[in-house]
């Protein structure tokens, strides 16, 4: 199912600027702790003491959307993805 555009043609969102309700997620079975995502998205990702990324528990803000998509594409382990927020 594809999202329907809201008023003004923008994708329908959750009303908080959260990129249409998208969240950054990591597949922990694939993540190898490269840290590339934390370098590309310091606003949303920090490297934890265990050497693996810790993600902000918030939706993706609209102004970070293109950088988030770039980080997802560049994850060398294909572990990073964008999920629809519940
Ligand atoms: S770039 Fe990918 S593999 Fe590296 S820490 Fe981030 S999610 Fe894990």
- For residues 13 and 29, give the distance between their C-alpha atoms in angstroms, rounded to a whole number: 30
Residue whose pair of structure tokens reads 């079975």 in the numeric block: 29
Out of 40, 41, 80, 82, give the residue to mutate to test ligand 1, the one with the largest number of ligand atoms within 8 Å of its CB. Answer: 80
Q: For ligand 1, is residue 33 a contact (CB within 6 Å)?
A: yes
Q: For ligand 1, is residue 32 a contact (CB within 6 Å)?
A: yes
Domains plus CATH for the chain?
A: 20-84 (3.30.70.20)
Strand duo 80-84 + 22-26: pairing? antiparallel
Q: State which ligand 1 atom lies nearest to the alpha carbon of 38.
A: 6
pLDDT band at 13 (very low <50, low <70, confident <90, very high): very low
Backbone phi, psi, residue 16, to 5°: -115, 20
Per-residue pLDDT tens over the stretch 21-65? 899 999 999 999 999 999 999 999 999 999 999 998 888 999 999
């Amino acid at each position: 199912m594809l999202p329907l555009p809201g008023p003004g043609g923008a994708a329908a969102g959750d009303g908080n600027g959260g990129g249409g309700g998208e969240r950054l997620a990591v597949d922990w079975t694939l993540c190898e702790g490269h840290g590339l995502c934390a370098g590309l998205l310091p606003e949303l990702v920090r490297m934890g003491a265990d050497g693996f990324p810790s993600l902000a528990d918030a939706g993706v803000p609209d102004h970070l959307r293109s950088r988030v998509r770039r980080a997802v594409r560049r994850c060398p382990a294909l572990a990073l993805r964008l999920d629809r927020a519940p």
